[in-house]
Amino acid sequence: MILKNINLLKVVLIITFATNQSLAANNITFLSNPLPQHVKDIGNFVVKQTEKPFFSDVILFAENINNSISNSPVLFYNDKISSILKENISLVRNLQKKDIRVQLSYLGNHQNAGWSCNMSQATATKLANEMVNDVVKYGLDGINIDDEYSTCYGNRQSFYWVADAIKSHPKLKNSYTLPSLMKNNKREENQ
């Protein structure tokens, strides 16, 4: 009898987990320097049983944090990302209509500037504000943090200042930040 109840409980739990939308998996894809067709194609991936999009999030990779002076970072959008945001934003809107979140990923660009480079708190806040303003300007859903490729010596405090300024920014109430825990192409443990 106890074994039967345990098996019944397993079935109930499986059904509960399988039908609960809040427990659905997030499938995230990074589009590295995407062409417009790449963005368009993401919306074509659907789960056969549900006809819902396979991907929950699309990360447009990557917008760069540039400069040779660490306390003076500048955002840089390459031609492919600029094309998506300025000339093909309707492709992003089509994904969002399908409940696919679209985020921008920012990372250092082999220069003395990036998330964990030495910068003052005021500079970190200014950088965060620029990122948030661009996300809002283009009607995107969030920011992906990718802390790799900078040539500066790390300053963890700068990283947290930027991330905290993004998180607490009033314009991002319904958005979120997805961290990519990489540093110099190696996964970092939470510390």
**Catalytic positions, written as ranges:** 148
Amino acid identity of residue 184, one-letter, is N
Contact 89, 81 (CB under 8 A): no
Count Cβ atoms below 10 Å from residue 20 Cβ, excluding itself.
9
Burial class for 135, CB neighbours closer than 10 Å (0-12, 13-18, 19+):
buried
